[in-house]
Chain A
Amino acid sequence: MEAVLSVEDLWKSYATRPGGPRRQALSGLGFSVPRNSVVGLLGPNGAGKTTTLKCVMGLARPDSGSIRIFGRDGGAVEARRKVGFLPEQPYFDLYLTPRKLLLYYGRLAGMEASAARPRISYLLNLVGMEDEADITMDKFSKGMLQRIGLAQALLAEPELLILDEPSSGLDPLGKLQVRDMLKSLSSGGTTILLSSHQLSEIEEICDRVIIIHKGREVASGALAELLEEEGECEVLLGKPVPESMATIPPTASWAEGGEGKRLLVPRDDLNAALASLLEAGASIAEVRSRRLSLEEFFVRRIGKQGWEVEG
C-alpha cells in the first residue's frame, strides 16, 4: 500500500537549558501511514508523540532522520498543502469570532474568500458550532476550542489529517461525536494519524497503532493482533480457593475482584497451571481465552511504573 506519510529513523533532542545537556525526546522512531488508513500513535505522556507530530509538520527540526509526505520532503511547503493539523490543546486569538478566525486561516492556506465562506459554514456546522460562529471566542470552554481546532484542521479539505490528542478536553458526548466524525472522514477517503494517551479513544477507530515509549517504538501493528498475541486465559474455579492453599504457578495471578475464583494465566503456561491447580484439589469450572485491554498491554510492555508515573 502506498504510504502517505513515512517517517524513518527520526532522532530529536532538546536542550534542557541554553547550552546545557540535551535530553533525548525521539530515538530512531520510524513508521508509515498507508493511504486511507487510520493510524494511532499511542504512548504515555512524555513518550514523544507531540514531538513526532511537530517534526512531521515542520514545526520542530529533527536532529536526523527523514520525513516524507505524499512523497515530498516533509520540510517543503507544498507537502503541507493537503495536510490538516490539530495541535495539542489548540488555542486562538480569543477576540476573533470562529468565522473570522477561519477566514484568516483560509487566506494563509491560499483559499479565495468566496471559496472559503461556504466551506467555513459547513465546517462550523459539522463540529456543532454554527450557533457560536459569530461571537468572540473569549467565553469558549476548552471543549469548544477543541471543536474550532478540528474545524481549522479540516479547512483546506486535507487528504491527510494529523491530530494531536483530538479528544482531550471533550466531554463523553463530544468524544463520541469526534469519533463518529473521524469514522465518516475515514470512509470518505481521508487518511488519519492521531495521537493519544487514552487507549479507549484509539481502540475503536484505528486500523493500526504504533505504541511508543521514551521516543522508541515498543510495538506496532493491527491492534487486535497485538492484543491477541499477548493474550492470556482466564480460569474460573468452581469454588473459592484460599490463596494460601493453592500452589499457583508463578506466572499466574488472581484477577482483581474475582473473589478468589478467577485466575489469569498466560496462554503458554496454561497446561502447567491447570495441572498444578488440579493437584491442589481445585475444581475448574471454565477456561476462556481473554484479550488484553490496551492498558494491560502497556503495563506488560513498559512496566507498571513506566505507565503510572508518566501516564
Chain B
Amino acid sequence: MNAVSAFAWSVLQDALHRKVFYAILAFSVLLMLLIPMLPSASVGVQVDLLREAALGLTSIMAFLLAVILASTIIPAELGRRTIYNTLSRPVRRWQYYLGKYIGIMVVVAFALFVSLAVLLVMVGAKFGVFNPGLAKAVFTIFLEATVLAAVAMLASVRFSPLVCVLFTGLFYVVCHVKGDFLYRAMTDSGNHALLRGVSGFLYYLLPNLERMNINETVAHSERVFRVGAGELALLAAIALIFSCIFLYLGAWLFERRDL
C-alpha cells in the first residue's frame, strides 16, 4: 500500500507544479464569479440560474481536469523516461497504475472542494441562503469524473494524449445520450438491423452518465425530484463498478506493455 500512496502523492506534487491545474481552477472560479453579472429575466429564478450555471462550470472544470491528467500522466512519464526510475524498483505495475489514478482523483476532489466553497459563499452572499444540498451535485460530478478518468487512463496506455482526450469525449457524449438516443435507435424497428444491434450493444455495455448529472435538479432546490441517500449510493456503486472495470482493463494492458 505504501507504493500506491507514494505514486498517488507524486501526482499531487506534479499537479501542484503544473500551470494547467491552476489555469483550469482559476478560470472556472473566475467565470463562476462573473455569472451574477449576467442579465436575467426575473429575480425569482435568478438563484436557480446562478446555481445551475455554476454547477455546469464546475462539471466542465472537473471533467477537463480528470481527463487531461489521466490522458497525459503515462505518456508524459514514458516520454521523459522518468518511469524507468520508479518501475525498476520492487513495485508492481498495477500499484503504479492505481496510485496514479488515486492521485488524479485526489486532485479532482481538491478542485471540486474549492469550487463548492466558492459556490456556497457566492450563493450565501448574494441571496442570503445556505445551500448544503449543492454538495450532492458536486459529489455526483466527482463520481462521473472517476469514470471518465478511468476511461482516459485506459486509453493512455496505448494512445497519445490527444487521442485519449478525443476518445473520452466521444465516450462522454455517447454515455450521456444513451438513455434517450441509443434507446430509440435500438428499439425503432424502422432502423437497419446492424444499427439496432450496435445501439443495443452499447446501450447495455455503457454506463448511463446522464443519471449522474443532477445539476438541474439540485439547482432548482429539488422541488420536482428529491435526490435521496439511496439514489446517491446507487450512483456511487455504478461509478465504482465502471471505474473498477476500466481500471482493471487498463492495469492489465499496462502490465503487458513495453516501456
Q: Measuring CB to CB, which residues of chain A are less than 8 angstroms from any residue of chain B?
A: 14, 54, 57-61, 77-78, 80-81, 83, 85, 87, 89-93, 95-96, 104-105, 107-110, 149, 152, 156
Kindly report which residue of chain A lies nearest to residue B85, judged by CB atoms.
Answer: A152
Distance between Cα atoms of A89 and B82 in the complex (Å): 10
Q: Is the CB of A90 within 8 A of B81?
A: yes
Q: Is the CB of B88 within 8 A of A93?
A: no
Q: Is the CB of B92 within 8 A of A92?
A: no
Asked if B226 is at the interface (CB within 8 A of a chain A CB), the reply is no
Q: Is the CB of A105 within 8 A of B89?
A: yes
Most buried by B among A54, A107, A156: A107
What's the least CB distance linking A16 to chain B, in Å?
13
Q: Is the CB of A80 within 8 A of B81?
A: no
Q: Is the CB of B84 within 8 A of A95?
A: no
Most buried by A among B3, B13, B85: B85
11 sample A-B contacts, Cβ–Cβ < 8 Å, listed by A number: A54-B258, A77-B90, A77-B91, A93-B82, A95-B17, A104-B10, A105-B89, A108-B3, A108-B7, A108-B90, A156-B89
Q: Is the CB of B13 within 8 A of A60?
A: no
Q: Is the CB of B92 within 8 A of A77?
A: yes
Question: B86, B90, B92, B259: which contacts A54 (Cβ < 8 A)?
Answer: B259
Kindly report which residue of chain B lies nearest to residue A156, judged by CB atoms.
Answer: B89
| 20 more A-B residue pairs beyond the given contacts A89-B81, A90-B85, with a C-beta to C-beta distance below 8 A | A58-B88, A60-B258, A77-B92, A80-B89, A80-B90, A81-B90, A83-B88, A85-B88, A87-B84, A87-B85, A87-B88, A91-B80, A91-B81, A92-B82, A93-B10, A93-B13, A95-B13, A104-B10, A108-B90, A110-B2
Q: Is the CB of A14 within 8 A of B90?
A: no
Determine chain B's interface SS by DSSP, over half rule. Answer: helix
Q: Is the CB of A104 within 8 A of B84?
A: no
Closest 6 CB pairs of A and B: A87-B84, A85-B88, A107-B6, A95-B17, A60-B258, A81-B90
What's the least CB distance linking A32 to chain B, in Å?
20
Which residues does chain B contribute within 8 Å of A110, judged by CB atoms? Answer: 2-3, 90
Q: Which of B47-98 contact A (CB under 8 A)?
A: 80-82, 84-92
What's the least CB distance linking A68 to chain B, in Å?
16
Distance between Cα atoms of A60 and B2 in the complex (Å): 24
Distance between Cα atoms of A280 and B10 in the complex (Å): 76
Question: B3, B14, B85, B90: which contacts A78 (Cβ < 8 A)?
Answer: B90
Distance between Cα atoms of A77 and B95 in the complex (Å): 12
Determine chain A's interface SS by DSSP, over half rule. Answer: loop
Asked if B126 is at the interface (CB within 8 A of a chain A CB), the reply is no
Kindly report which residue of chain B lies nearest to residue A136, judged by CB atoms.
Answer: B17
What's the least CB distance linking A23 to chain B, in Å?
13
What's the least CB distance linking B255 to chain A, in Å?
9
Question: B80, B81, B82, B88: which contacts A57 (Cβ < 8 A)?
Answer: B88
Known: A14-B258, A77-B91, A104-B6. A85 touches B84 (CB 8 A): yes
Distance between Cα atoms of A104 and B8 in the complex (Å): 11
Q: Is the CB of A109 within 8 A of B89?
A: yes
Known: A96-B13, A108-B6. A80 touches B80 (CB 8 A): no
What's the least CB distance linking A11 to chain B, in Å?
14
Which residues does chain B contribute within 8 Å of A85, judged by CB atoms? Answer: 84, 88
Distance between Cα atoms of A96 and B89 in the complex (Å): 19
Which residues does chain A contribute within 8 Å of B6, judged by CB atoms? Answer: 104, 107-108
